[in-house]
Amino acid sequence: MSIDPGLTQRLARLIHDEQAGLKAFIALLQREEALLVEGQIDALTALAEEKTKLYRSLQRLSDDRTVMFARLGAKVSKDNIRIVLADSPDALAAWDVVVTLAADAKERNRINGQLITERLQNNQQALSTLLAAAEHPQIYGPDGQSRPTASSRHLGSV
**How would residue 142 be classed by pLDDT, with cut points 50, 70 and 90?**
confident
Q: 5-134 maps to which CATH number?
A: 1.20.58.300
Domain boundaries, given as residue ranges, for the chain: 5-134
The three-state secondary structure class of 81 is helix
CA distance 79 to 95: 11
| pLDDT recorded at residue 108 | 98
The three-state secondary structure class of 140 is strand
**How would residue 85 be classed by pLDDT, with cut points 50, 70 and 90?**
confident
Model pTM? Answer: 0.76
Work out the angle at residue 137's Cα, subtended by the Cα atoms of residues 136 and 143, and round it to the nearest 5 degrees.
145
In this structure, of 9-13, 55-59, 99-103, the range with the lowest mean pLDDT score is 9-13
